[in-house]
Amino acid sequence: MKETEKRKYLPSEIVSLMKKKGYDKFSINKHTELWKSRNAKDPKYSFGVLISKTWYWYETWLKEVQKHCEEHADELKN
């Protein structure tokens, strides 16, 4: 069995990916508000990991962000 490292994303990468999907109004600030409102850094959710004082998000969180953007497309798209 091969052990693999989970893909990790910085907040700026998540924002950039959402902007590429057309959510032009999704920003670092909106991302911060979202993770704080969902307490997404709580280890019980396994949405990311803290490595050397930097928080990295996993694919599971990226999917949550995309779902949020889809549900709020009227606010986040131009």
- Where do the domains of the chain lie? 8-71
Q: Reduced to 3 states, what is the DSSP secondary structure of residue 8?
A: strand
Residue 5 confidence (pLDDT) above 90: no
Q: Which of 22, 31, 29 is nearest to 76 (CA)?
A: 22
Q: What pLDDT score was predicted for residue 1?
A: 74
**First-to-final CA distance of the chain:** 46
Residues 6+ apart with CB under 8 A from 31: 11, 14, 15, 65
Predicted structure pTM score: 0.92
The structure tokens listed for 26 are 């999704």
Model pLDDT for residues 21-40, shown as the tens digit of each residue:
999 999 999 999 999 999 99
